Structure 1
Amino acid sequence: MIKIVVAGFKGKMGATATKMVLDHEKFELVGVLDPFEEKLNLNELAEYPTVDVPIFKTKEEVLSVQPDVWIDFTIPKVAYENTNFAIENKISPVVGTTGLTEAQLAELTDRSKTLNVGGLIAPNFAVGAVLMMQFAQKAAEYFPDVEIIELHHDNKLDAPSGTAIKTAEMMSEVRVKKIQGHPEEKELITGARGADFEGMRIHSVRLPGMIAHQQVQFGGVGEGLTIRHDSYDRSSFMTGVALGCEKVVHLDKLVYGLENLL
């Protein structure tokens, strides 16, 4: 059994991850973390009347249950601190919180290598989304004219999404560098053309009712190609989270992107 703690268990993704761990035959939920929760045990909450799992207020308290894996769905600042703490204490992090900087990712990766601690930070845990990114990277070799439209719920904190940034990074590895659009193009309203990533445009949509959706739109002479992925429910991410929990305990460093484990 892999002993797991979930940080951010009261959020929508954290709650879904908590239920996944409870239902998984190979996992044991040994604790959850939320500094603002007044209750001391999950069985004091209406959602978990029969679950005897402690609720911790501080990172240090988590060490008492000696978890193997630390699942994190919090916010960027907290996720960075939590991940660093987990690595320092030889707990393998599985992080779905997006918004970490390149410098933070590099620092965490270097520290994990030094301590030989496996871990995973992924902008998207849906297997279909990972395949979408890989297909887009392949297409970018032949279609350098491309734009990304990503659509999420209106409570998402970061824009563009981590998935969109990761997709653009992967495409930039194989794509011929070029600036898209007319050379004399003028934006009548600033930002109308979206964010600029090495000549590729990224557009972020934030609307209630959405979960996580991304469309990669390619254009060529006389043809077009659209690659799209939709997550209609947060359960779509749990296959990847579970896979990450199973794999990270056998790694000796932190990796970025679920594709590294497929």
Structure 2
Amino acid sequence: MKVAVLGAGGKMGSTVAQTVIAQPDLKLVAVVDPRLSGIEFEHATGVSGSGLSISGDISEIVRSGADVVVDFTTAASAFENLKYCASHGISAVVGTTGLDQTKMDELDRAFIDADRGCIVAANFAIGAILMMRFAEIAAGFFETAEVLEMHHETKIDAPSGTAIATARRIASAKLVGGSSFLPDSTENSLFEGARGADVDGVRVHSMRIRGAIAHQEVVFGTMGQSLSIRHDSYDRSSFMPGLIIAIRGIQSVRGVMAGIDRLIDDRLSIRSERGE
């Protein structure tokens, strides 16, 4: 399968490219980043083995014959990039957060019309995905819940996409069970933001700490007990196994699919049938 990377000059983009190069069944055919146009990819990123120069033009993904594009740019850029991919019949895997529901719906129609797939995931770390799943299971048994996320100091959005997704999923799981979390009884916040952001009734707190990568803890409480479910990514390589699952599984997707939970479930089902 031929893979192109958009945002290839960034930390995540270059890690993606390096990971793709190492896969025997994948071939890196294009690296695109307008900021570094014309520079040899190895010289710009230190990643060897591609033999490619960075292009500043998204049309390079078409010229290269890419089957799938991996996008780690910004939300504004990703939306236009994905429309371009759909219009040219190229599937996409996206690690960029910040696409609102209106844009997601528009992209879903575009990829369905193109008979192609697009996976949009807030987090590709398999541990993070399992953390969200475990939190959904726990939600029905506790009366209060809050999410604490910590990322590196250069992250520009808050809360993180993973934190927002987690809060929404546990709030929804609670409602499906016929109840909701207890309301916040705080009446007097001495400083603005002291209780964090309210995401569907779940408080979310964001920290930006130098030296951190991506960390999240979901804390549940009920009478006489609490439960903490935590995931830590210490290196960007933690996102790569899930990303490779998404790239290899994209051919089974039509339209836009949020997250890679279904692909992980498929793998678990196969292993269960084999008795592994």
TM-score, reference length from structure 1:
0.94
Give CA deviations for 1:56-99 in whole Å, capped at 9, x if unaligned: 21112321111001001111111111111111111111000111
Please state how far the C-alpha of 1:51 moved relative to its aligned partner: 3.0
Tell me if structure 2 keeps the 8 A contact 1:69–1:249: no
Q: Kindly indicate whether residue 109 of structure 2 is the aligned counterpart of residue 110 of structure 1.
A: yes
Query: Closer, same or farther in 2 for the Cα pair 1:203/1:53, shift >3 Å?
Result: same
Mapping 1:61-100, distance limit 5 Å: 61-100=60-99
Q: Secondary structure at the match of 1:139?
A: helix
1:98 is aligned with what amino acid? T
Shift of 1:254: 1.7
What is residue 13 of structure 2 aligned with on the other side?
14
SS state of the match for residue 196, structure 1? Answer: strand
Equivalent of residue 193 in structure 1, options 192, 195, 200: 195
Which has a greater percent of helix? Answer: 2
1:154 aligns with 2:157: no
Q: Distance in 2 between matches of 1:136 and 1:43?
A: 41
Change (3 A) 1:145 1:237: same
- The 3 A distance-change label for structure 1 pair 181 and 40 is closer
Question: 1:26 corresponds to which residue?
Answer: 25
Choose which of 221, 224, 236 in structure 1 pairs with 2:223.
221
Work out whether residues 119 and 249 of structure 1, in 8 Å CA contact, stay in contact via their aligned partners in 2: no
Q: Tell me the alpha carbon deviations over residues 120-179 of structure 1, each in whole angstroms, 9 at most, x when there is no partner.
A: 000000000000000001111111310000000011111110001111111122212244
Cα 1:179–1:220 shift into 2, 3 Å: closer
**Structure 1 residue 55, shift from structure 2 partner:** 2.1
1:180 pairs, out of 178, 183, 192, with 183
C-alpha separation in 1, matches of 2:111 and 2:48 = 37
**Alignment correspondent of 1:259:** 261
> Aligned pairs, how many?
260
Aligned residue runs from structure 1 range 225-244, under 5 A: 225-244=227-246
Is 1:56 aligned with 2:55?
Answer: yes
Instruction: Normalising by structure 2, report the TM-score.
Output: 0.90
Q: Say which is worse superposed, 247-256 or 229-238, in terms of deviation.
A: 247-256
Q: CA RMSD in A?
A: 1.5
Maintained 8 Å contact 1:6/1:17: yes
Where does residue 5 of structure 1 map in the other structure? Answer: 4
Amino acid at match of 2:233: S
Counterpart of 2:130 in structure 1 is 131
Moved over 4 A (4+): 43-46
Q: What SS does the aligned partner of 1:249 have? A: helix
> How many percent of aligned residue pairs carry the same amino acid?
40
| Structure 1 equivalent of residue 252 of structure 2 | 250
Q: Is the 8 A contact 2:163 2:204 kept in 1?
A: yes
Query: How far off its partner does 1:50 sit?
Result: 4.9
CA contact (8 A) 2:32 2:60 kept: no
On the 8 A contact 1:68/1:249 being kept in 2, the answer is no
Structure 2 gap ranges (5+): 265-276
Greater RCO (CA < 8 Å, at least 6 residues apart): 1
Contact 1:152 1:206 (C-alpha < 8 Å) held by counterparts: yes
